[in-house]
Structure 1
Amino acid sequence: MALDTFLFRELVAAIVVFFVTRFSIRLLFKNPSRKLPPGPKGWPIVGALPLLGTMPHVALAKMAKQYGPVMYLKMGTCDMVVASTPDAARAFLKTLDINFSNRPPNAGATHLAYDAQDMVFAHYGPRWKLLRKLSNLHMLGGKALDDWAQVRVIELGHMVQAMYESSKQGEPVVVSELLTYAMANMIGQVILSRRVFVTHGEESNEFKDMVVELMTSAGFFNIGDFIPSIAWLDLQGIERGMKKLHKRFDVLLTKMIEEHTASAHERKGKPDFLDVVVANQDNSDGERLNLTNIKALLLNLFTAGTDTSSSIIEWALTEMLKNPSILKRAHDEMDQVIGRNRRLEEADIAKLPYLQAICKETMRKHPSTPLNLPRVSTEACEVNGYYIPKNTRLSVNIWAIGRDPDVWENPLDFTPERFLSGKYAKIDPRGNDFELIPFGAGRRICAGTRMGIVLVEYILGTLVHSFDWKLPNGVAELNMDEAFGLALQKAVPLSAMVSPRLSLSAYAF
């Protein structure tokens, strides 16, 4: 017994000596120049995770006011930095772009994106470059967008007609449902040469709910991502939900691909996007795309292509309903440039500076991805004199940048006029002006940036030009609450009454 007690004491003493020695050596050899950025201390084991709450972009913006533009958080066993000003974002996404060109491992990439086999989460390398190249050449780039301009005209015509019918019935329109219906069909026409949903209804609404669930669950700060040793416990139940949702999407995508393969004879000489991708499975660079890569890419295009743009449009309409003078000025501009005898065309947008200003102001105040998508450092580096360790996760708080009073005058106001003249007039959302980066910046900027801007301007412009907008009877005030996720949704979807304001011939289809 005495021997056991002696051995136990010796073991405890050895452990204590080990940790004291290790700590002392760390202090002795610590480089004083390797100073981490300031940040909150956080809790034992879980670190700063509990400090983020249900609205991480808001919580991190408040912390940045205390700790500064480059902030360090210990998140479980992981290091994380947050950039909250244009200069800080530029340092990471431009100066150190290559070092932060990869995504950190996370449950969303594993369980939703086919184990990061897609374009959004893929490692920065040959496969990612091939997926990006094919997407730009045949769907998202300038020439490709021009090639499928008529698809946008036709599908937006279906949407306008559905809204016109609702107005005749005296029924409100749920904006997010109609936007998902129209955008999914636009993307379906380009990728698959067919509409995904023949009519607006239960099937398209179910798809919308799946997309929202994907964006919401992928945006959660999952404990297992930051403490990998306990990931298997799935304490928040996030991964279980992701796995179920993935199965539903996989069934849908498999069906799309099988039906597309069966109808190949109908497209002789007229290949669509999926035909091109399949034809490039064996690339000249030696990179091979398998069926999983193709499904993952389609998942990216259908989900991000519908959700991010639709959220911006919904927020813009909400702000205009809240500020009727802005809606009136937009109507006046359109009536002067276009008149009321026809629908708005994409060629009109260049002559509608106020419409473009409304789009920019919405992207500033309600960015589609409030924290951008996370990146991770390949090597240790230095930013603003602070040491950033290897494998540090990076979040850029785009939402905070858009509401920074040191950058924007009266940032909480919705004021499109700020983009018409003065110091904000030349600011552009395409990733070069870090005051306004709704799609991110650098190598991993959203591949659909150009498409997103085209869709937002064209669809929003058409909806504003074609209809008068009012709140439903009995609704006195708009709900402006946000719902956090990869995309910043309205907590309560916008429902509004519309009435036609153009010649009846403009609604014929």
Structure 2
Amino acid sequence: MPSNGVSLSLLSFCSVLLLLASIFFILRKRRAIPLSLPPGPKPWPIIGSLPEFLKNKPTFRWIHNMMEEMNTEIMCIRLGNVHVIPVTSPKLAAEFLKKQDAVFSSRPVILSADIISRGYLTTALSPLGEQWKKMRRVVASKVLSEQRHRWLHNKRTEEADHIFGFVYNQTMDSTTGGVVNMRVVAQHFCGNVMRKIIFGKRFFENGRADGGPGVEEEEHVSAMFTILAYLYAFSPSDYLPCLRGLVDLDGHKKIVRTATTSVAKYQDPEIEERIRHWMEGARTKQEDLLDVLIMLKKEDGSPLLSPEEIKAQILELMIASVDNPSNAVEWALAEMINQPSTLERATEELDRVVGKQRLVQESDLSQLNYVKSCLREAFRLHPVLPFNVPHVSTVDTTVAGYFIPKGSHILLSRRGLGRNPRVWDDPLQFIPERHLKQDGSDVVLTEPDLKILSFSTGRRGCPGVNLGSTMATMLMARLLQGFSWELPPTMSKIDLNESAENLLLAEQLHAKAQPRLAEIMYHQP
């Protein structure tokens, strides 16, 4: 019996050892199996999905269509040796921009960004490194700080008054019947504001007699929108570096260089002249952001920024400010004209908060929750760009159980986040009321939970959130307070189709405006 008991105990012990060994082997085997990449199209050897990428234009629509067909909120597309990972889920977006913000804090080395930033001298476009850290400190603390925002208040108000008068002059134009091109109004308001706060002037020359942009400003703004259209525009040479020194296959390089040169033609002489004035003592007082940038000093008293850094950073500030607010205002007004009750409610709010005896001011904007809800809904439904500026992973990591290789380009989809049916009810409908808060607290144009991506967040977030929000809301408020808006006589409804190439309105918004305030209100000193 004792020997049988020992044998039984030994057998049990061996069985336990065998079981533990089996479990250890299974777990070890599982760990040896690498995590999979997010789902996506099967790539070709070496070139990846570049053939499909070149065949299906515009690329952003191809990407979004694939994600819808595969019913996924994260995808991996290999282009050359680069893994491009688009994301349409707020939860996953938060993984990238919040939980692992430090990992995804760099930018890709892209030909268009290299040209525009003059060799990565700027803030938003530069890869992670000392130059980015330096320029980020400058922009955040010296250029777009809250204190600087208050300092530039009067200049922004001047431009709000000016655009108000420009629209009024168009309502008096018998040749147009009061029909206003709102894309021109919105884009040039943003251009005017940025030129005023940077260069201290609205126009490079004289502008038009009615207050509209001159040929110089038209070229300046047009070139900036061309730059924006081609920045990070999926050029094959960005994914196959061996092509960069060869022929300009898709023409992007020539287009970006031409547009950048066009902008520099107007901006660089202003910068060079101002630097000379400070050096010669002809200018002694800081009055705008160009003065601020020139007068930044190192500890030894020498200039902190070189002329090339100033030129590059000013170009980046300009292109970062003209598109988002102007696009939101144009889309919001187009949607509201098709929904007269929405337009009426926003106008009633302005009459209640501000009245008709004075013009709306920036100090009123915090109380205009419905106006801001209309803009916020435009940012959600009609983002100006399909994707945010790409983030690049600095190490191998995992997100949502997927392997994300070092060097991957992360594209957070503005369009996908804002129209995600898992997040939004009736996502394709313009419903400003969805943004109003039950407790009546302030509506803001940012979204901490990334359900929309009006302005980027995190360490690579947009430092100009305050400026961009103010520009968009002030323009929208002035347009609604000062004018009644309706369809042009030849139209029964505003066509809300997107352009085939981008997310702008396919047809520029033309709307009939009529003054709704006393005439004296339109003639500001």
Give the drift of 1:419: 1.1
Give the drift of 1:288: 5.0
- Matches of 2:46 and 2:492, distance apart in 1: 47
Structure 1 residue corresponding to 2:198, chosen from 191, 210, 215: 191
**Inter-CA distance 103–333: structure 2 relative to 1 (3 Å threshold):** same
Query: Does residue 1:258 correspond to 2:289, yes or no?
Result: no
Query: Does residue 1:206 correspond to 2:232, yes or no?
Result: no
1:54–1:484 Cα contact (<8 Å) kept:
no
Structure 2 residue corresponding to 1:98, chosen from 99, 102, 112: 102
Secondary structure of 1:349 counterpart: helix
Residue of structure 2 equivalent to 1:6: none
Secondary structure of 1:71 counterpart: coil
Q: 1:277-296 to 2 correspondence within 5 Å?
A: 277-280=293-296, 282=298, 289-296=305-312
Q: 1:259-278 to 2 correspondence within 5 Å?
A: 259-264=273-278, 265=281, 267-278=283-294
**Inter-CA distance 279–291: structure 2 relative to 1 (3 Å threshold):** same
Query: Does residue 1:241 correspond to 2:244, yes or no?
Result: no
2:377–2:432 Cα contact (<8 Å) kept:
yes
Give the drift of 1:373: 0.3
| Number of corresponding residues | 481
| Amino acid corresponding to residue 62 of structure 1 in structure 2 | N
Secondary structure of 1:395 counterpart: strand
Structure 1 residue corresponding to 2:242, chosen from 206, 209, 229: 229
**Inter-CA distance 58–135: structure 2 relative to 1 (3 Å threshold):** same
Secondary structure of 1:469 counterpart: strand
1:180–1:306 Cα contact (<8 Å) kept:
yes
| Amino acid corresponding to residue 236 of structure 1 in structure 2 | D
Q: 1:72-151 to 2 correspondence within 5 Å?
A: 72-151=76-155
For residues 9-68 of structure 1, give each alpha carbon's deviation from its aligned partner in whole angstroms, at most 9, with x where no partner exists. Answer: xxxxxxxxxxxxxxxxxxx99941331111122456543345553344443333233152
Give the drift of 1:336: 1.8
| Amino acid corresponding to residue 156 of structure 1 in structure 2 | A
- Matches of 1:424 and 1:418, distance apart in 2: 13
Structure 2 residue corresponding to 1:393, chosen from 400, 406, 409: 409
Normalising by structure 1, report the TM-score.
Answer: 0.87
- Indicate the structure (1 or 2) with the bigger Cα radius of gyration: 2
Query: Does residue 1:450 correspond to 2:466, yes or no?
Result: yes
Deviates more, 1:271-280 or 1:201-210: 271-280
**Inter-CA distance 440–285: structure 2 relative to 1 (3 Å threshold):** farther
Unaligned runs of 5+ in 1: 1-27
Secondary structure of 2:380 counterpart: helix
2:186–2:327 Cα contact (<8 Å) kept:
no
| Amino acid corresponding to residue 206 of structure 1 in structure 2 | E
Secondary structure of 1:391 counterpart: coil
**Inter-CA distance 344–224: structure 2 relative to 1 (3 Å threshold):** same
- Matches of 1:29 and 1:416, distance apart in 2: 49
**Inter-CA distance 340–417: structure 2 relative to 1 (3 Å threshold):** same
For residues 192-230 of structure 1, give each alpha carbon's deviation from its aligned partner in whole angstroms, at most 9, with x where no partner exists. Answer: 223334422322211121111111111421111111112
Structure 2 residue corresponding to 1:372, chosen from 388, 391, 394: 388
Residue of structure 1 equivalent to 2:20: none
Residue of structure 2 equivalent to 1:69: 73
- Matches of 1:423 and 1:345, distance apart in 2: 24
- Matches of 1:93 and 1:279, distance apart in 2: 34
Aligned-pair identity (%): 28
Deviates more, 1:170-179 or 1:304-313: 170-179
Secondary structure of 1:70 counterpart: coil
Secondary structure of 1:405 counterpart: coil
| Amino acid corresponding to residue 221 of structure 1 in structure 2 | F
Give the drift of 1:437: 2.2
For residues 359-399 of structure 1, give each alpha carbon's deviation from its aligned partner in whole angstroms, at most 9, with x where no partner exists. Answer: 11111111233200011111100111111111111101121
Give the drift of 1:259: 2.9
1:405–1:411 Cα contact (<8 Å) kept:
yes
2:143–2:292 Cα contact (<8 Å) kept:
no
Unaligned runs of 5+ in 2: 1-28, 208-212
1:119–1:296 Cα contact (<8 Å) kept:
no
For the aligned residue pairs, the C-alpha RMSD in angstroms reads: 2.7
Give the drift of 1:456: 0.8
1:311–1:488 Cα contact (<8 Å) kept:
no
For residues 264-298 of structure 1, give each alpha carbon's deviation from its aligned partner in whole angstroms, at most 9, with x where no partner exists. Answer: 45642335322222222646799953222111101
